[in-house]
Structure 1
Amino acid sequence: MKPQYIIDGFTGTETIVNGKKYLYFAGTGYFQLNSHPELIKAASEATLKYGIATATSRAITGNSHLLIEIEKKAADFFNTEDAVYLPSGYLTNIAGLQALSELNTFDIIFLDDGAHYSLCEGARTVDKPLIFFNHCDTEDLKQKLEQHLQPGQRPLIASDGLFPIRAKIAPLETYLELANNYDGTVWIDDAHGVGILGENGRGTYEHLALESPRLYMGATLSKAFGAYGGIIPGAARFIQQIRSGSVMTGSSSPMHAAAASGIKGLEIVQQHPEMREKLWANARYLKERMRSIGIQTEDNELPIVAFSPGNMETMTKIHQALMEEGVYIQFANYKGSGNDGILRIVVFSTHTQKQINLLTEKLGSAMRKFIS
């Protein structure tokens, strides 16, 4: 049976798991805003003023000043005409793809077969043909576009922006080129890219310096921004279509605490680019240290290192040895991890070099012990 890990208290660089304090290198709270005093204060004050939620859909009387404000704040952050806020990041792919379909922007969906579960489910809710292409394989995508598109038909190319398990960025430059060639569009789930990538933290598109009216995205506030809820930024006509769609009209309004903390998280990330710079520096330092103990990893600013030293049994032993030393990393068995799973380390902007050194020292010892 898979072990169950229960968090007791705030998650941070040190976190209590199953009653024991660990040096913590897991999760997705890249700036640790999920325990930031200003976000907690904003959530508390909003709950005291507005209650838990409006207990109805925004299509009826479920709007509040907080919900209007967070959408304005998100549009400003992403420098778009408008933005919409949804109860969860999971819903953004469903709402976004349905809106693009209603606006008649595509005829067939071409989806990376390693895409997040929510993107796969979103694609299946649209009454259009769905074709999977091999993970990040532009040649396979090109072949399938040629094979399946009839003259005049337009593709929607859909993918994660930053794939979180192995820290891989989708080849979006080629996707946009193909979308231009076929009069199509590109949609990405950028849950892990927003906040941490790009000069202004606007995500994978900004990181790759891509701009086009053919590019669309959905994201979440539950990772880099330390809050909760889904965000879709974009042109006013597209956002209005989402507001009139079934996801928006059929779901209850988000909790006020989530909206208030999301506003504050967006503000902090926007006003403090040095957090992003520290995260990038920590990522590069971690990867330098990982290479020093024999683990090959790319020299980039992505704050994730994933590796598979041996089979499941070996990785289980390494993971357990680290836990015995008070260090927690993730032993992931998730989409994209492979059949045996994968060991995965996430570094935060708040980790110190001393903590990173301790991690790699303990990891190096464990690997020498269990890998011949």
Structure 2
Amino acid sequence: MASLFSKYEGIASALGSVVAAGGRNPFSVIIEKPVSSTVGVIEGRETLLFGTNNYLGLSQSPRAIKAAQDAAAACGVGTTGSRIANGTQSLHRQLEGQIARFFGRRDAMVFSTGYQANLGMISALAGKDDYLILDADSHASIYDGSRLSAAQVIRFRHNDPDDLYKRIRRLDAPDRAKLIVVEGIYSMTGNVAPVAEFVAVKKETGSYLLVDEAHSFGVLGDNGRGAAEAAGVEQDVDFVVGTFSKSLGTVGGYCVSDHPELELLRLNCRPYMFTASLPPEIIAATTAALEDMQAHPELRTQLMDNAARLHAGFVKIGLNASKQVSPVIAVTLETEEQAIPMWNYLLDLGVYVNLSLPPATPDSRPLLRCSVMATHTAQQIDKAVEIFRQAATKAGVHGAR
């Protein structure tokens, strides 16, 4: 009998090699107990967390925790239904209004995850007679949304407005709608999108533009609205998608837009229509975390100061760090034979980061992906840099000192 699992033999073999090389499965690390936003217990040891996307440290917000407790006591722990059935409570609509006002937009839709926000918006907006034009380094949720949409997909070179323009001009299809999709900060490398240049292409070609601000929401811009705000072109972006699971420390996703037709998508967006809505305690915690973020703009300043400190530390010890300074900092290595042991050494020495291996990396080289928090102290950052130096030396990383 043919096996349903034979297709996974290759990945099983690759995973076995990774585990054999380091003694651990790096993709199933358990944080046994969060001690704070920056420290967790892993393998019984207190470990510095530099791989959690908790950019503002708000997963431990006392205001959000209290709001969640109060909402669960008042409303129960779940809705048991989708948004178009019994799954919309007043809290859901209040959060949508709050998000829309925060972005200065007409309306907002809240999804159960950030993944579903991309999956839902892209698949509902782009149909079989439309074009989807995607940055080649787009997140998996964007690619999955494109598959669900049945639109014709065209990829352009990462962060390259000129290549985007050329590819759209070659289409010569003025009667077919075109949706450009880019990200504010790219989650693997920390690269920031040139959103103003993409807006110029959008206008020149008569396209729509969707910006996924998942990793730039709460991080970039004077108010934390993301890369589009930082570039001064917010009103020229048709759709902003994002997640609550990074800077706000909860879970869920959203889309904001000034297009009045957004309301119609509530009845045409399958990942919105056919999944249970967020439970009341998550909605309440997210609302409180957003209020925290707005009340403490100094968190963004501290976050970027911390990112600059970590990046400078990596450069000083000779590591190949991301070209741009953002809260996502990737250390790129040449071989898996270096990357896997180094990741294990880091964990042994008390630092947790994310290990990314080809083919999931942008340039087919392995990398150690770090995410910085506003709540990291200077001492924690310096300690992490020193541990990186020790781990790189033990792993035989060329140039490390």
Worse-matched range after superposition: 235-244 or 29-38:
235-244
Percent of pairs identical after alignment?
28
Q: Structure 1 pair 338/305, CA: closer, same or farther in 2 (3 Å)?
A: same
Give the alignment partner of residue 106 of structure 2, picking from 77, 81, 101: 81
When the two chains are superposed, the root-mean-square deviation of aligned CA atoms in Å is: 2.2
- Alignment-mate amino acid for residue 118 of structure 2: N
SS in 1 for 2:383: helix
Instruction: Summarize deviations over 1:342-364 as a string: whole Å, max 9, x none.
Output: 11222111111111111111212
Q: Could you say which residue in structure 2 is the equivalent of 1:264? A: 288
Q: Structure 1 pair 337/107, CA: closer, same or farther in 2 (3 Å)?
A: closer
Q: Structure 1 pair 40/19, CA: closer, same or farther in 2 (3 Å)?
A: same
User: Paired residues, what number?
Assistant: 370
TM-score by length of 2: 0.86
Instruction: Summarize deviations over 1:218-262 as a string: whole Å, max 9, x none.
Output: 101011011111111122614312222233332222111211111
Q: CA deviation at 1:214?
A: 4.5
Q: Structure 1 pair 115/299, CA: closer, same or farther in 2 (3 Å)?
A: closer
**Structure 1: distance between partners of 2:310 and 2:282:** 32
Give the alignment partner of residue 241 of structure 1, picking from 257, 261, 264: 264
Give the alignment partner of residue 200 of structure 2, picking from 168, 172, 177: 177
- Alignment-mate amino acid for residue 55 of structure 1: T
Give the alignment partner of residue 300 of structure 2, picking from 253, 276, 299: 276
Q: Which structure 2 residues correspond to residues 1-372 of structure 1 after superposition, within 5 A?
A: 1=16, 2=19, 3=25, 4-10=28-34, 12-101=37-126, 107-235=130-258, 237-247=260-270, 248-297=272-321, 301-333=325-357, 335-369=360-394, 370-372=396-398
**Structure 2: distance between partners of 1:330 and 1:143:** 35
Q: CA deviation at 1:119?
A: 0.8
- Alignment-mate amino acid for residue 224 of structure 2: G
Q: Structure 1 pair 300/129, CA: closer, same or farther in 2 (3 Å)?
A: closer
Q: CA deviation at 1:284?
A: 1.2
Q: Structure 1 pair 236/337, CA: closer, same or farther in 2 (3 Å)?
A: closer
**Structure 2: distance between partners of 1:137 and 1:8:** 42
**Structure 2: distance between partners of 1:196 and 1:263:** 17
**Structure 2: distance between partners of 1:327 and 1:60:** 45
- Alignment-mate amino acid for residue 249 of structure 1: M
Q: CA deviation at 1:150?
A: 2.2
**Structure 2: distance between partners of 1:301 and 1:331:** 19
Q: Structure 1 pair 177/323, CA: closer, same or farther in 2 (3 Å)?
A: same
Q: CA deviation at 1:118?
A: 0.8
Instruction: Summarize deviations over 1:72-117 as a string: whole Å, max 9, x none.
Output: 1111211212211111111112322244347x9x831111221111
**Structure 2: distance between partners of 1:15 and 1:279:** 19
**Structure 1: distance between partners of 2:318 and 2:158:** 27
- Alignment-mate amino acid for residue 392 of structure 2: M
SS in 1 for 2:235: coil
TM-score by length of 1: 0.92
Worse-matched range after superposition: 242-251 or 201-210:
242-251
Q: Structure 1 pair 171/236, CA: closer, same or farther in 2 (3 Å)?
A: closer
